[in-house]
């Protein structure tokens, strides 16, 4: 298997995927990822050989969301934390043993509303 097709990406590859470059010197800005790792509990890269960080696709998608909310929508770190925590709580909310169509429709509606808010730049009141 080609390294490029690997399930895990190293910190430099992720910085490149996210287009995180230092505007002054043009180098990759990996320190931004390390900072976000400290700020957001959702970012937990695998620490493998030599304590190098490796990110899976799920974590990369969370990083994309964080970058979008911070850089494009202009949200604060705390605002993004609230947004991520609120989204997690709805998605991870335990369902009772009897899954009903109504319960499922309500969850899909909540998730859809959150995605619309993110897309249209509205701040989440939670």
Write the pLDDT tens digit of every residue in 11-68: 999 999 999 988 888 888 899 999 999 999 999 999 887 788 999 999 999 999 999 9
Q: How far apart are CA 116 and CA 28, in angstroms?
A: 31
Q: Are 55 and 63 a contacting pair, CB within 8 Å?
A: yes
Residue-wise pLDDT tens digits, 74-111: 999 999 999 888 766 555 555 444 567 777 787 888 88
Overall domain count for the chain:
2
Same domain, 84 and 66: no
CATH of the domain at 45: 1.10.1660.10
From CA 27, how far away is CA 95, in angstroms rounded? 46
Residue span of the structural domain in which 81 resides: 74-126
- What pTM does this model have? 0.64
Give the integer Cα–Cα distance in Å for 15 and 63.
10
122 and 87 both lie in a single domain: yes
Last residue of a domain, one of 50, 72, 94: 72
């Amino acid at each position: 298997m080609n390294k490029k097709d690997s399930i895990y990406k190293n910190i430099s590859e992720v910085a490149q995927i996210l287009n995180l470059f230092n505007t002054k010197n043009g180098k990759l800005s990996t320190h931004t990822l390390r900072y976000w790792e400290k700020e957001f509990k959702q970012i937990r890269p695998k620490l493998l050989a030599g304590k190098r960080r490796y990110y899976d696709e799920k974590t990369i998608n969370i990083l994309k969301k964080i970058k979008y909310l911070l850089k494009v929508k202009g949200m604060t770190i705390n605002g993004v934390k609230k947004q991520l925590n609120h989204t997690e709580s709805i998605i991870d909310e335990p369902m009772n043993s009897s899954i009903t169509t109504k319960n499922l429709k309500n969850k899909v509606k909540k998730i859809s509303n959150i995605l619309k808010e993110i897309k249209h730049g509205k701040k989440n009141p939670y």
